[in-house]
Amino acid sequence: MNERTLADVIEVPQFVRALRRGIEAFTRYRAFMPLAPRAYTRTLLEKTDEYEVIAMLWAPGSVSPIHDHGDSRCWVIVLEGSLDVENYDRLDEREPLARLRHSGTAHFEAGALDHRLTARELHRVRNLGEIGTYSLQLYAKPLGTFTIVDDLTGLCRAMQPHYDAVVDL
Amino acid sequence: MDPRGQLDVAVIGGGVSGTALAIALAASAPPDFTACVFDPSGLGPGTAYAPQSASLLLNGPVRAMSAVPGDPSHLKRYLVDEPDDALICRARYGAYMRATAAGALAAHRGIRHAPVEIAEIARERDGFVLVDAEARVHRTRRVVFAMGNFAPDASFLPESIRASADFANDPWRADVGRFRSGDIALIGSRLTAMDVIALLDEHAASGRIHLISRHGRVPFVEDPRARGDATVLARLDTSTPYTLLRSLRRTIDDYPGDWRAVVEALRPVTPHIWAAWNPRERRRFLRHCESLWAIHRYRVPPATYAVYARLRAAGRIVVHRARIVGATAATRGFALELDERGARGILRVAGAVNCTGPNADLTRVASPLVRSALAGGIITADPLRLGIAISETFNTLDANGRPDARAFAMGPLVRGRWYETTAIPEITRHAAAIARDILREHRAALTVEAS
């Protein structure tokens, strides 16, 4: 899959509209988002056939598994707090065991946008700050089956996304 | 390398684009993979970061200029003592690129650099044949065009200027110091002109500096602390260049912080907005909005801007919103005939420097390689004359718009596809994407051969 432009998966004006609705919904539901100690929660704000918008609350110390986004493109905007994203290169393509190399870490403060050129890039997200981090993720198409990789064994597993809460817009 | 000496990939150009690709390949390529970067002037700094002058600074901060994809703090660790928001000297950045390239080559013995110029390219059954300037032949399975910036186009200038010894067409390859006495005309008023002003000041130039450009616009000063605020994207109407500019202006007016946060927020989505516009809208943008966008987006380092502001306040810099309609060569310099919004005038200067920026119109580039690649249908010129036409996967296109799975192009020359392709963050990102595709195909081919 070579989705290199946003326009291939979602029209830009639609992206901007989704973002606007996402930020409005976040403002309204911020206080009601589930909080799990040392973990992150995902609240679905909007879902169409083309995209879904999710608000995430990352408790201090929370960390995601090393994962990709399956066949979806993901755009992350940090709304409050900060996130550190560790990037990984795959050194081979032989599933179910992946050889990984940690290529570096990017730090994102509030207002920052993280985006990837392709859907299959492996990464892990952490909140290393002392306060909770709120972020808005826009997936286009909505996130389907994706891969997580165990950082010790390199074992790949197919996963289905879950929601901790769904906001009825 | 395979028994016939065929490379897996040949990279043409060892400036920042080619170097970023070599670094990305070296990081993940299997040991049997072979690549060669061809560039007579070395590997690393290219034209952009080679000039050895303390006056020439980066206009992107340390935190955004890592050469290693996925590792944004790489440059900061190399520099050790520079803060995130520092704008370092371009020569120092060139040394960093050189050192990082050398490290990458040392880490993978299949990837090397050949200090030769490629003069010709042709297709063969399973790849390409390259001929260098010394008539040696190199065979490769894939090719990546990463030539960076060509010298500015001067075809719009009168012959009397172009033919004169008092005219420098390429500020990066000319000795600007020779213009230190007498008045001088800089054609163009953007970043290149700002750099040339800083160089002239470094050489203690004493004359007046005339900036001549169509819009007479000078870029804004950078605030290296500026970071994009992506939440403002929700307020933009990106459907056409005009609606974008209008909504951008409104958003900036209402924005409580510094306007640069709004402009920076647009940067990661610019390629998508550009790709979504039809050719007519893109042309409109270039004709009517580009100059205004550019002075906000491509900003001047504060130290460079301070030189400009000091000289302008002292009356040593004059900005002309004008076109050059004629010129007569004098014993020294020229008499330029200017059309300043209908009013004709004569401006006498001792020299002139072309500061219009790199030429991306392939049909006007004096490069034997480009000519041969165009003639062989390996590359085609972008319809808007913004370099090489490519597909979304960076593959070059033939005359019928069909992508060539074995030929790629990246860097400043693929601006027509993404618009934002000239700065380091985009270049390293694109290098990583191309490296990933090449290595995936390489591994797949090995699996087929093994079975």
Residue-wise DSSP of B349-371: ESEEEE-S--B--GGG---HHHH
Q: Is B33 left (phi over 0), alpha (psi -120 to 50) or beta?
A: beta
**Location of structure tokens 């409109």:** B284
Nearest beta carbon to residue A6 from set B229, B230, B272: B272
Is the domain of B19 the same as that of B145?
yes
In a domain, A153, yes or no: yes
In the predicted model, what is the mean pLDDT of residues B227-247?
A: 92
In the predicted model, what is the mean pLDDT of residues B223-239?
A: 91
Contact assignment for B72 to A104 by CB distance below 8 Å = yes
Is the domain of B55 the same as that of B141?
yes
Is the domain of B257 the same as that of B339?
no
- Other Cβ atoms within 10 Å of B158 Cβ, number: 18
pLDDT for position B450:
65
Give the tens place of pLDDT for each residue, B376-431. 999 999 999 999 999 989 999 998 999 999 999 999 999 999 899 889 999 998 99
In a domain, B414, yes or no: yes
Contact A61, A21 (CB under 8 A): no
Which of B233, B250, B260, B436 best probes binding to A when mutated, by most A CB atoms within 10 angstroms? Answer: B233
Q: Which of A137, A143, A151 is nearest to A90 (CA)?
A: A151
Q: Specify the range with the lowest mean pLDDT, choosing from A8-12, B125-129, B327-331, B347-351.
A: A8-12
Judged by a CB distance cut-off of 8 A, whether residue B330 touches chain A is no
Helix (H, G, I), strand (E, B) or coil at B425: helix
Nearest beta carbon to residue B73 from set A16, A105, A117: A105
Is the domain of B118 the same as that of B254?
no
In a domain, B397, yes or no: yes
Judged by a CB distance cut-off of 8 A, whether residue B323 touches chain A is no
The share of chain B scoring above pLDDT 90, in percent, equals 82
* Backbone CA torsion sign across B55, B148, A88, A42: positive
Rounded CA separation B27/B68 (Å): 9
Nearest beta carbon to residue A77 from set B68, B230, B275: B230
In the predicted model, what is the mean pLDDT of residues B308-322?
A: 97
Judged by a CB distance cut-off of 8 A, whether residue B282 touches chain A is no
Amino acid at the residue B343: A
- Token pair belonging to A51: 């995209």
pLDDT for position B169:
94
pLDDT for position B185:
97
Is the domain of B394 the same as that of B269?
no
In a domain, B417, yes or no: yes
In a domain, B369, yes or no: yes
Rounded CA separation B352/B337 (Å): 13
CA trace torsion B417, B235, B231, A39 (10° rounding): -100
pLDDT for position A7:
52
Give the tens place of pLDDT for each residue, B170-195. 998 888 889 999 999 999 999 999 99
Q: In terms of C-beta density within 10 A (0-12 exposed, 13-18 middle, 19 or more buried), how is residue B160 classed?
A: middle
Which helix (H) or strand (E) is B451 found in, with range? Answer: none
Judged by a CB distance cut-off of 8 A, whether residue B231 touches chain A is yes
- Other Cβ atoms within 10 Å of A55 Cβ, number: 23
Amino acid at the residue B266: L
Contact B154, B354 (CB under 8 A): yes
Looking only at the bridges linking them, the beta strands covering B167-168 and B351-354 are parallel
Contact assignment for B276 to A19 by CB distance below 8 Å = no
Judged by a CB distance cut-off of 8 A, whether residue B349 touches chain A is no
Contact assignment for A13 to B272 by CB distance below 8 Å = no
- Token pair belonging to A87: 């990037």
Contact assignment for B231 to A92 by CB distance below 8 Å = no
In a domain, B225, yes or no: no
Set of chain A residues whose Cβ sits within 8 Å of the Cβ of B433 = 4, 117-118
In a domain, B247, yes or no: yes
Is the domain of B131 the same as that of B38?
yes
Residue A10 has pLDDT above 90, yes or no: no
Q: How many domains does chain B have?
A: 3
Contact assignment for B229 to A2 by CB distance below 8 Å = no
In a domain, A1, yes or no: no
Judged by a CB distance cut-off of 8 A, whether residue B61 touches chain A is no
Q: Specify the range with the lowest mean pLDDT, choosing from A10-24, A79-93, B25-39, B276-290.
A: A10-24
pLDDT for position A9:
64
Is the domain of B61 the same as that of B108?
yes
Residue B242 has pLDDT above 70, yes or no: yes
User: Dihedrals φ, ψ of B70, to 5°?
Assistant: 80, -5
Judged by a CB distance cut-off of 8 A, whether residue B237 touches chain A is yes
Is the domain of B372 the same as that of B267?
no
Domain boundary among B354, B378, B397: B354
In a domain, A168, yes or no: no
Give how far the C-alpha of residue B221 lies from the chain's centroid of Cα atoms, to the nearest Å: 20
Rounded CA separation B161/B326 (Å): 9
Amino acid at the residue B5: G
pLDDT for position A1:
35
Distances (CA, A) of B24 to A117, B27, B168, B438: 15, 5, 36, 11
Contact assignment for B27 to A118 by CB distance below 8 Å = no
Helix (H, G, I), strand (E, B) or coil at B306: helix
CATH label of the domain that carries residue B19: 3.50.50.60
pLDDT for position B451:
58
Min Cα distance A11 → chain B (Å) is: 8
pLDDT for position A169:
57
pLDDT for position A13:
79
Which helix (H) or strand (E) is B133 found in, with range? Answer: none
Min Cα distance B155 → chain A (Å) is: 35
Looking only at the bridges linking them, the beta strands covering B351-354 and B343-349 are unpaired
Q: How many domains does chain A have?
A: 1
Min Cα distance A39 → chain B (Å) is: 24
Domain boundary among B280, B297, B314: B297
Domain that holds residue A41: 6-163
Q: What is the DSSP string of B251-264?
A: HHHH-SS-THHHHH
Rounded CA separation B377/B397 (Å): 8
Set of chain B residues whose Cβ sits within 8 Å of the Cβ of A15 = 269, 272
Question: Quick one: closest CA in A to B84, which residue?
Answer: A107
Domain that holds residue B239: 230-297
Confidence of residue A16 (pLDDT cuts 50, 70, 90): confident
Judged by a CB distance cut-off of 8 A, whether residue B339 touches chain A is no
pLDDT for position A3:
40
Helix (H, G, I), strand (E, B) or coil at B408: strand
pLDDT for position A8:
60
Question: Quick one: closest CA in A to B418, which residue?
Answer: A5
Domain boundary among B331, B354, B377: B354
Give the tens place of pLDDT for each residue, B45-67. 888 888 888 899 999 999 999 99
CATH label of the domain that carries residue A28: 2.60.120.10
Is the domain of B212 the same as that of B310?
yes
The number of residues in chain B equals: 451
> How many contacts, defined by CB atoms under 8 Å, are there between A and B?
107
Set of chain A residues whose Cβ sits within 8 Å of the Cβ of B237 = 13, 16
In a domain, B1, yes or no: no
Rounded CA separation B372/B38 (Å): 16
In a domain, B250, yes or no: yes
Is the domain of B255 the same as that of B272?
yes
Question: Quick one: closest CA in B to A116, which residue?
Answer: B429
Is the domain of B335 the same as that of B399?
no
Judged by a CB distance cut-off of 8 A, whether residue B236 touches chain A is yes
pLDDT for position B97:
96
Instruction: Name the average pLDDT for chain B.
Output: 93
Is the domain of B328 the same as that of B243?
no
Residue A4 has pLDDT above 60, yes or no: no
Which of A79, A100, A117 best probes binding to B when mutated, by most B CB atoms within 10 angstroms? Answer: A117
